[in-house]
Structure 1
Amino acid sequence: MIDDIVRTAGSLAHQLGPLRRAVLRASRSAADLPDIPDAQIELMRALAAADNTPSDLADSLGLARSTVSNLISQLEREQLVERHLVAGDGRRTRVALTPLAQARLRTFDESATRVLAEALRGLDPGDVAAITAALPALDRLQHRFVGG
């Protein structure tokens, strides 16, 4: 017999991916933004918090350094990030968002807020209250995975 925790975990696992993808698609479409893969968005979000070295980004995102390097190269080609040598160390680079990337993230976040607000307005008030009440618990759950 499956206990409640396992049942809840299974349901949550099946809901998170499709919900995330639906919000991303709707937000991009509403703001007429290009289709930026999730991994690139995660990297851009990490860079929005602070410029970092590629190895620091790999560690904080839990990705292989080669994966981060490839993502940075892709974003650099799209003029969304730029690399700068670390002062006093001619071998290491720091990566920073360009103004274009900052504007796109801001536009995406504003669009996501509008899209989600519109969707929430279409729900029963009890559902909205349940989602609102669950937000702190979801934040704590996320921190269980990222070690925060």
Structure 2
Amino acid sequence: MSLTSATTLATLDRAGPGRITDLAVAAGVTQPAMTVLVRAMEESGLVERKGDPSDKRVTLVCLTEAGASYVRTRHRAGVDAYARLIDELSDDEVAALTAALPALLRLAELDGLEGRAREESDR
């Protein structure tokens, strides 16, 4: 699976159903490229298109159970990989990493806030 496909599935998992144009912006690709990608993921059973209940003119891309399962499996594999790497660190390195966690969480929060602000300004 391509990085763009995996990123798009993760975006849908985190943010919920989305328009192809919004997914394209989030992934940094063109709308036609995202349309092709969504079609391929749809054929693989990872996503489906549904009408937007609040605007019948809009079609939303949604994760299927298979898509959500794929995202969870990938996430778990990443967590396991980091756990194995952390096991290789010294006690001092683990302590330094633990001490850095609040700052890293704050960076992730700021990135999330910045991303939402960008999305709002694009509308």
> Deviation at 1:40?
1.0
Q: TM-score, normalised by structure 1?
A: 0.63
> Deviation at 1:83?
0.4
User: Aligned equivalents of 1:47 and 1:80: distance in 2?
Assistant: 11
Aligned residues: 113
What amino acid sits opposite 1:109 in the alignment? H
Find out whether 1:40 has 2:24 as its counterpart: no
User: Aligned equivalents of 1:55 and 1:73: distance in 2?
Assistant: 14
CA RMSD in angstroms comes to: 2.5
Number of the residue aligned with 2:29? 63
Q: Is the 8 A contact 2:4 2:27 kept in 1?
A: no
Number of the residue aligned with 2:79? 113
User: Aligned equivalents of 2:38 and 2:82: distance in 1?
Assistant: 29
TM-superposition CA deviations, 1:64-93 (whole Å, max 9, x none): 222322221221121100001223645421
User: Aligned equivalents of 2:23 and 2:32: distance in 1?
Assistant: 11
Q: 2:40 is paired with a residue of what secondary structure?
A: helix
Residues 1:61 and 1:94: Cα distance change in structure 2 (over 3 Å): same
* Aligned sequence identity (%): 30
Q: TM-score, normalised by structure 2?
A: 0.73
Q: 1:82 is paired with a residue of what secondary structure?
A: strand
Residues 1:61 and 1:138: Cα distance change in structure 2 (over 3 Å): farther
Find out whether 1:147 has 2:114 as its counterpart: yes
> Deviation at 1:52?
1.0
After alignment, is 40-49 or 58-67 more displaced? 58-67
Larger RCO: 1 or 2 (CA < 8 Å, sep 6+): 1
